């Protein structure tokens, strides 16, 4: 997909994340549309391990490390322990771009 010399855009991450989530949601018989406002834990019923697996798969797709442990720790300290698809995509995009900017 992407290589280290290309810039990864938010749209790349959005498309990879949504297509992965839609594919998985079909396995769970989740009928509703997944949007930027969908909450991973409350709406999709994620547990922390689900988030780790999703994060690792995206990491594989883009061939670069993403510090999802940092995000999960931070979510754990929020008053509402959840994250929207938009926030997830923002975080992933920033991580990938930060990894590129120091290459």
The binding site for other proteins (CB under 8 A) comprises 20, 23-24, 27-28, 41, 45-54, 56-57, 59-60, 62-77, 81, 87, 90-91, 94-95, 98-99, 101-102
Q: What are phi and psi of 4, to 5 degrees?
A: -65, -20
Contact predicate 92/60, CB 8 Å: no
**Distance separating alpha carbons of residues 102 and 29, to the nearest angstrom:** 41
Integer-rounded Cα Rg, in Å, for the chain is 13
Pick between residue 5 and residue 101 the one whose CB is nearest to other proteins: 101
Rounded to a whole number of angstroms, the minimum distance from the CB of residue 14 to other proteins is 16
Q: Which is nearer to other proteins, 11 or 60 (CB)?
A: 60
């Amino acid at each position: 997909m992407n290589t280290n010399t290309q810039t990864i855009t938010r749209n790349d991450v959005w498309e990879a994340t949504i297509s992965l989530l839609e594919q998985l949601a079909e396995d769970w018989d989740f009928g509703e549309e997944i949007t930027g406002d969908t909450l991973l834990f409350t709406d999709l019923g994620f547990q922390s391990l689900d988030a780790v697996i999703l994060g690792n798969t995206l990491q594989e797709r883009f061939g670069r490390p993403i510090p999802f442990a940092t995000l999960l720790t931070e979510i754990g300290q929020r008053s509402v322990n959840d994250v929207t698809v938009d926030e997830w995509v923002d975080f992933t995009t920033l991580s990938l771009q930060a990894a590129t900017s120091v290459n």
